[in-house]
Structures are given as C-alpha cells and as structure tokens.
C-alpha cells in the first residue's frame, strides 16, 4: 500500500506572502518542503473564492454546480431564509446564532453538500484507509461522532446535540473528538485553532493512527483579515511552527516524509480592503428581504468580496438587477444568465460580454468556449484559438460553475480592488484583507506536493479541484 498522505490546508495562503516568508527565513519547514517538492505551482480557487465553496471543492473534486455550496452567504429559496456560515459574529446574530451553528455544523455537510458526489473522506474510508481531519468546514465521512460533553464543549450542549458523520478520526473545535487529546480549541476561537490542530495531528502521527490526514490551519486567514495580506509573514511563521510540531512527532521532517507524502496548499488568497460596500442600501428602493423580515423583492447576500442577488418577485428583470448592482460604488463586475446555457458579464466602464460552453476557443485547461461581445469585460485575450485572462484567471470556467449552481442568485457581483461587501451584520475588514472576488489577488494560492507515489501530469493551470484526484491517485484509487 502507498505510504500515507498529509494534506495541509493553510487558509488564505498568499503566493506573495509565502515568497516573502521564505525570503525572510520565517518558515523553515515550508521552505524545506518547497526545496524537495515534486510539484510547486499556483492553483486557482472557484468563484466566489470563499472558504465554504473552496472547502467543498477540495474535498469533492467538483465545482459548485455539482457540490451545491454556492457562497459564504446565500438565500435558501426552498426554505425562504438566509444561510450564513460565519462571516462575523454580527452576521451570525442577524440570522440567529443557533441557526448559523446548525447550518455550519450540520446542514453544510448533511444537506447543502450534495450526496451525489462522495467526499475524499468517504472514498478513502470505503477503501479501508484510516482517515483523519482537524477542524475543517467540510468533513463528511463514514464514521459517526457524538458531541463531546467535557470541558468547554458543555457550553454548546443546547445547540450541538446530534452526531455528525466524519472521518475515522475527527477533531472539530472541541465539539467532536474521536479521542482525548491534551489541548483545546477554545470552541474554535481564532488564535487557538491551529494550536489545537497541530496538537491532535501530532498525536495521530506519533501513535500511527491515520493514513490520510487533512490538517487544517485556519488562523492565517483570521490574522490576514485583521492585518492585511502583508501581515501573513507573521501568521505563516506560526503556521510553520505548527507544521513542524507534526513533523517532530514523527522524529523530524525526513522521518515524516518517509511515512507520508505531504501536500501543502491554500484555499484562496487575500487582497487589501480599504472601503466597504453597503449593498442593501443600494437596493433599498426595491424592498430587500432581511433575515428578520418577510417580504421584499430581492435578497442580498454578501460574501466578503463577492455577493449574490436573488430575485424574489416573479418576472423580476435580472438584467436590471445586474445594472443596479454594477452602478453601486465599489462593484466591479456583474454577471447573470440572460438565457439558459449562456452567461452575460459587464465590468464597470466596458460593454457586455456573453459566453457559453462549446465553440472554437480553448482555455488553458482545454475547455471549449464561444465568446461574443466586449472582451474587456473580463480582460480576455484571444490568440491562436486560445482565450485567457491574466487579471481574472480561469474566469470563464469559474463564472460558468457559479452561475450554473442551482443555489446561486440570479446575479453575481465581484468587488473592485480595495472594496469588500459589508456582511449581513454590517461588518467589513477595513484596513485588513479579504477575498471572494474574481480577481487573481483573491483567487490564486500555492500548491506544493512532496513524495507522491504517482506524480501528477503538468498543467498550465491548476485548480483546487485537482487536489482531490492527486490524493486518490497517490493511494491507487483513481
């Protein structure tokens, strides 16, 4: 059997920040892995480039058209309510903290994530491999884990009552734990999550309890939201120490690499934020549905540097919603489906571009497209039958996936550089960093792999979804 594999996801890992951290000798473990890497590239997040969408893509190998998780915040048409996975405490208070926790812990994995496509944990569980994960948004597996009732977990007992399905070994914010570990995540509080993850992972490695481990280190995202992407050198140095702690449990990095292949990646990046966008105010004249008030003709769902508009009134003109959205200061792009099988895009200061799958143009992954209209809308270049955009990487595929998801809004928006949509509670990361937009600064993240049993073939463009097949091929499953 192939040796094990550790998939380390450093939330919001920025390519530029990693380069700076290595140059400043702040991340010796990551630098050592890069020096030995079989694969060292950048990979592209889906749009919107927010953690729930990215986590679902990494763990299923599918885009949101198939896995069904459309955004950080979205409107459930069937239930007539907002879904908010945790943009801020103020946003959680607006939708109701009990509902927010239920969506995040139970519904995201149990009903929002499509059952049609198995997760990496389910496939490896079915193959008889010992799976494990530290706190990660998508963790669905074949093993049942009841809530813990020790320590701080008792405080969550009224809200966290049912078991969850997860990998064989699961450590989720103190709420679920397959075994006792000498550490706490303080119920998933930022700043404590990475410490808890490395503590649990070190025990798993030291006692040889897993073949596949998804080691989630989310605190880099939290730190970058507060201090901006340039502050990541500090938070990446902390993440590096936690990764080194896991290596030390194996007797050092060389010994760890004898037992495990290691893949390190982010799920998206971040860009600086100087101003917020109050999207509900821009649509106030139409009547905005709020989490606490029925009625309204449009539901406004901000997801950091992206947003979705849901037309709640039959016959509402989608093009008019897109036009109003694009007229809002700070909004850069608006896209929608003017007809089945077609996507329309407008960027501030350009004409309209329409595209559809099939046609004579190929993207960097070989996908075929027909494109008509103003290429400037997506900063597209066309040469020798190839279409691509440097500013909005993989944009045709990403927008098609987003618009085609049955849970997405009728209109999708992307913010201009420096702007972020205020969340349902009115919060924004002003003076810090954020992500979610179509822009490359939000979307590209490093991908490093060391010691794979089967090297992946080279690609001109890597996507988050590719990691799914990299892991399966390592274990000889795909």
What the chain holds in terms of domains, given with CATH numbers, is 4-69+113-270+440-474 (3.40.720.10), 273-433 (no CATH)
Question: Does the pLDDT at position 121 exceed 70?
Answer: yes
Q: Which distant-in-sequence residues (6+ apart) come within 8 Å of 189 by Cβ?
A: none
Q: What pLDDT was estimated at residue 458?
A: 86
Lowest mean pLDDT among 137-146, 297-306, 309-318, 468-477: 309-318
Mean pLDDT confidence for 95-107: 95
Q: What pLDDT was estimated at residue 190?
A: 86
- Mean pLDDT for the chain? 95
Dist CA 26 CA 237 (whole Å): 5
Lowest mean pLDDT among 121-130, 288-297, 352-361, 420-429: 288-297
Mean pLDDT confidence for 400-405: 97
What's this model's pTM, rounded to 2 decimal places?
A: 0.97
Look at strands 331-339 and 433-434 and give their pairing.
unpaired
User: 69-78 pLDDT, tens per residue?
Assistant: 999 999 999 9
Mean pLDDT confidence for 228-253: 97
Mean pLDDT confidence for 424-435: 97
Q: Which distant-in-sequence residues (6+ apart) come within 8 Å of 282 by Cβ?
A: 324, 325, 327, 328
Q: What are φ and ψ of residue 5, in 5° steps?
A: -145, 135
Q: What pLDDT was estimated at residue 189?
A: 85
Pick from 214, 239, 329: nearest CA to 278: 329
Question: Does the pLDDT at position 478 exceed 80?
Answer: no
**Model confidence at 174, in pLDDT bands (50, 70, 90)?**
confident
Q: What pLDDT was estimated at residue 161?
A: 87
Helices 232-249 and 193-206, axial angle in degrees (round to 10): 20
Pick from 269, 315, 282: nearest CA to 15: 269
């Amino acid at each position: 059997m192939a040796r094990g594999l550790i998939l380390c996801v450093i939330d919001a890992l920025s390519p530029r920040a990693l380069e700076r951290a290595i140059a400043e000798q702040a991340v010796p473990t990551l630098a050592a892995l890069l020096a030995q890497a079989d694969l060292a590239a950048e990979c592209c997040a889906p749009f919107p480039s927010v953690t729930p969408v990215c986590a679902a893509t990494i763990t299923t190998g599918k885009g949101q058209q198939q896995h069904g998780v459309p955004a950080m915040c979205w409107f459930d048409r069937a239930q007539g309510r907002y879904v908010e996975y945790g943009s801020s405490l103020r946003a959680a208070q607006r939708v109701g903290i009990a509902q927010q926790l239920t969506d995040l812990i139970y519904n995201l994995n149990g009903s929002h994530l499509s059952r049609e496509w198995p997760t990496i944990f389910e496939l490896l569980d079915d193959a008889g491999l010992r799976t494990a994960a530290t706190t990660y948004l998508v963790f669905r597996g074949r093993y049942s884990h009841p809530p813990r009732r020790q320590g701080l977990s008792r405080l969550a007992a009224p809200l966290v009552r049912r078991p969850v399905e997860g990998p064989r070994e699961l450590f989720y914010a103190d709420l679920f734990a397959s075994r006792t570990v000498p550490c706490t995540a303080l119920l998933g509080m930022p700043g404590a999550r990475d410490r808890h993850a490395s503590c649990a992972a070190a025990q798993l490695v030291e006692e040889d309890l897993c073949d596949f481990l998804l080691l989630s280190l989310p605190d880099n995202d939290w730190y970058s939201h507060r201090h901006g992407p340039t502050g990541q050198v500090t938070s990446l140095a902390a993440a590096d120490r936690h990764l080194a702690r896991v290596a030390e449990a194996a007797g050092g990095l060389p010994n760890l690499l004898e037992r495990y292949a290691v893949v390190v990646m982010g799920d998206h990046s971040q860009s600086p934020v100087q101003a917020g966008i109050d999207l509900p105010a821009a649509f106030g004249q139409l009547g905005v549905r709020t989490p606490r008030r029925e009625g309204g003709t449009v539901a406004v769902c901000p997801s950091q540097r992206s947003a979705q508009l849901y037309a709640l009134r039959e016959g509402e003109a989608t093009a008019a919603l897109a036009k109003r959205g694009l007229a809002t200061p700070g909004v850069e792009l608006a896209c929608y489906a003017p007809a089945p099988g077609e996507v329309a895009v407008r960027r501030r200061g350009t004409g309209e571009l329409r595209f559809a799958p099939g046609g004579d143009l190929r993207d960097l992954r070989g996908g075929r497209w027909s494109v008509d209209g103003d290429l400037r809308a997506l900063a597209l270049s066309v040469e020798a039958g190839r279409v691509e955009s440097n500013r909005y990487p993989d944009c045709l595929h990403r927008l098609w996936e987003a618009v085609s998801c049955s849970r997405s809004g009728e209109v999708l928006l992307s913010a201009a550089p420096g702007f972020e949509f205020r969340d349902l509670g009115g919060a924004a990361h002003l003076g810090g960093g954020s992500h979610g937009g179509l822009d490359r600064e939000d979307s590209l993240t490093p991908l490093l792999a060391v010691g794979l049993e089967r090297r992946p073939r080279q690609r001109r463009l890597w996507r988050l979804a590719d990691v799914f097949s990299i892991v399966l091929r390592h274990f000889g499953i795909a």
